[in-house]
Amino acid sequence: MPLSRSEAKTQHTAQTAHTQFSDTVYGVLCADCKNYILIDHTNCPPVCRTHETCRQAYGS
C-alpha cells in the first residue's frame, strides 16, 4: 500500500529532522533536501492523462 502524503512527511522528518515541505501536483517536495520524498500525482485533475498513474486512476 502506498504512503499517504502525511505519512511520507512524518517518515522523512523522523529520518532527517526536516520539517518544511511543499505539496505540489507531483507529490511532496522537501524544502531542505530540494528533492521529492513522494511522487504520486494525486493533485492532478480527473482530466489529466499526462501521467501513467493518472491514466490508470482515471480510466484511459
The pLDDT-based confidence of 15 (bands split at 50, 70, 90) is: very high
Give the number of domains in the chain: 1
pLDDT in tens, 21-49: 998 878 889 999 999 898 876 777 778 77
Q: Which triple of cell numbers denotes residue 26?
A: 507531483
- Entry pTM: 0.67
* Cβ neighbours, 10 Å, residue 21: 21
Query: Contact at 8 Å (CB) between 13 and 20?
Result: no
Domain range for 12 is 5-58
Query: Contact at 8 Å (CB) between 28 and 21?
Result: yes
Q: Which residues contact 13 (CB under 8 A, 6 or more apart)?
A: 19
